Structure 1
Amino acid sequence: MFTGLGAFPLTPMNEQGVDEKAFMGLVQQLARAKVDTIAALGSTGGYAYLSRAERTRIAHLAVEAAEDVPVMVSIGALRTREVLALAEEAQKVGVKALLLPPVSYQKLSQDDVFSLYETVTANISVPLCVYDNPGTTHFEFTDELHGRIAALPNVGSIKIPGVPESPDLACARVERLRELIPSHVTIGVSGDVFAAVGMNAGCDAWYSVMGGLFPHTALAITRAALSGDADEATRLSDALKPLWALFRQFGGSFRVIATAAELRGLTCFPSVPLPLRTVTGEGRDQIAAVIDALELS
């Protein structure tokens, strides 16, 4: 399940709670599109803003709405005991995989992080994806640490940040990591701007924010790259440059995609937890114009 398109849907919420109907609608849309994996409660899914009970509920709803598409959920939390509790509850509701970022308040060492994964992988029965996201966790994995963790039981994939833009450098990045991890552990690229170059460089999966809202557009890029048609994958990605520019303009993909979901009527306004806000004013009009012009679906 750690190949192809891993689509990360939003968890629409406001200060009164989670909009369960809207969330299930987003998941059902992904199931109909036949994405390869539905990754609920990632950073796009706002896991850090939800209680354990809310997260368990969302995991249950995702499994219910996903039909036959496997569901992966994040179990990231500040304390190992909380991570283990989230893992147990997620497995009970039927998720097929777990996603673990090394969340912290105090700065973590490489040994701290290895110990976290060592403990968790020894206490789960479904495969785990290592969530390497320094933009949110402020922890940077070394390739050597990835190699140590990938050798642990139940590790199935590594979700890496975006690769270098140069195809040659991207290939070198992926090859260097492959030399250190077991052959059964896949590499998934994140950072939607870098998806095509990452998959063309040999990544097995694209763990996508955009794919959680516009799965058909993301699947076209994914299928082209994984079938070996690097030129087509690059062409399709380059056609989305206006969207990539919005991600840079508004500080990342999350705020833009959440705004796009509101504009498409798939979520209500507001759909993110305070103090976060979706884009308003001229920026909102700009996002509307771009997603309409690109005919994202």
Structure 2
Amino acid sequence: MPAISTFHGLSAFPPTPADPDCRVDVEGLCRLLAPLCESGVASIGLLGSTGIYAYLTREERLRAVKAAVGCVNGRVPLLVGAGALRTDHAVDLARDAEAAGADALLLAPVSYTPLTQEEVYQHFLAVAKATRLPLCIYNNPGTTHFIFSRELLQRLSDVETIKAVKMPLPADGDLLGELATLREKTDLAIGYSGDWGAAEALLAGADAWYSVIGGLLPRVALALTKAAIAGNGGEARRLDDLLQPLWDVFKAYGSIRVVYMLAEHLLGVRSELPRPLLPLGPADRQRVLDAARPLIALEHQSLL
């Protein structure tokens, strides 16, 4: 599928259901993917941070990709995470994803020893050269502890198959300024994660929203995305206001704990968070359910 459709609009990132040994639940994964395909999201982000890619073996990651390719059956582009500590492992994961039928790659500079700008450039270059798939840079300093310089993003944008970047929300809130700088220095499609800032990012001119909540409530997220891309700030902010209680629990507990709990509640997909992550306790679960209940109702309204 063309890269332009993969890196524009709403990219929905579902959880990856797995047992306590991190063996992927193929049937559960397909149950999570079905409503995403039906809703019309622009792409599905498989094995992102919400998809616990960092905790899964190569074999389980390949199992997830093969299952997703079969379930999606070409209806929606699949953007597959290939991040790993070692470059050769990331290359193997990228080749696995391509062979299994993925449409694009998402690559984070996973690290233990802090990486230099040149090390990350060479890492991305090696992975980009390993397949023909278009690649999205996963800029996620909250987990990787690596900050991409503008110069590095410019260098990477010159690599033929690197087509997009998934950015965190700017610390200073200056989305317009950041977008202007990135567009001046690169020709990358620019998308944002950080769900609570998605409405403003899209209204500022971002190309894509890489969405955690889109993996569970795709129709609500898609309605917000379409309104913002159309420049309808009133409707985009109205929907964002409705989502605010969910953004609050994301910030309080971490989005990964929230969405794994909601996946079981909404679709009956039970999954164990990989240890040392622990599930939410009863009081916290109730707070999440209270925040999500109005949105679940909205998700099923025919007018969205």
TM-score normalised by L of structure 1: 0.94
Question: Which residue pairs with 1:155 in the alignment?
Answer: 162
- Indicate if the aligned counterparts of 2:32 and 2:267 stay in contact, CA closer than 8 A: no
Question: Which residue pairs with 1:239 in the alignment?
Answer: 242
After TM superposition, list the pairs within 5 Å mapping 1:1-297 onto structure 2: 1-16=6-21, 17-67=23-73, 68-163=75-170, 166=173, 169-182=174-187, 185-250=188-253, 252-268=254-270, 270-294=271-295, 295=297, 297=299
SS at match of 1:199: helix
- Aligned letter for 2:111? S
SS at match of 1:38: strand
Question: Which residue pairs with 2:302 in the alignment?
Answer: none
User: In terms of mean alpha carbon deviation, does 257-266 or 276-285 score higher?
Assistant: 257-266
Q: 1:142 to 1:6 in 2, by over 3 A?
A: same
Greater share of helix residues, 1 or 2?
2
Share of identical aligned residues, percent? Answer: 42
- Aligned letter for 1:176? T
SS at match of 1:273: coil
- Indicate if the aligned counterparts of 2:20 and 2:272 stay in contact, CA closer than 8 A: no
- For residues 124-180 of structure 1, the C-alpha deviation after alignment (integer angstroms, 9 at most, x for no partner) is 2010000000111111111221111111110111000014575xx211111111111
- Indicate if the aligned counterparts of 1:165 and 1:197 stay in contact, CA closer than 8 A: no
Q: 1:265 to 1:31 in 2, by over 3 A?
A: closer
TM-score normalised by L of structure 2: 0.92
Distance (whole Å) between structure 2 residues aligned to residue 79 and residue 64 of structure 1:
29
Q: 1:65 to 1:47 in 2, by over 3 A?
A: same
Distance (whole Å) between structure 1 residues aligned to residue 246 and residue 84 of structure 2:
31
Distance (whole Å) between structure 2 residues aligned to residue 237 and residue 78 of structure 1:
36
For residue 230 of structure 1, report the CA deviation from its aligned partner. 2.2
Where has structure 1 moved over 4 Å in runs of 4 or more?
none
- Indicate if the aligned counterparts of 2:105 and 2:134 stay in contact, CA closer than 8 A: yes
Q: 1:89 to 1:172 in 2, by over 3 A?
A: same
- Indicate if the aligned counterparts of 1:14 and 1:274 stay in contact, CA closer than 8 A: no
SS at match of 2:166: strand
- Aligned letter for 2:86? R
- For residues 167-195 of structure 1, the C-alpha deviation after alignment (integer angstroms, 9 at most, x for no partner) is xx21111111111102xx20011000010
List runs of 5+ in structure 1 lacking aligned partners: none
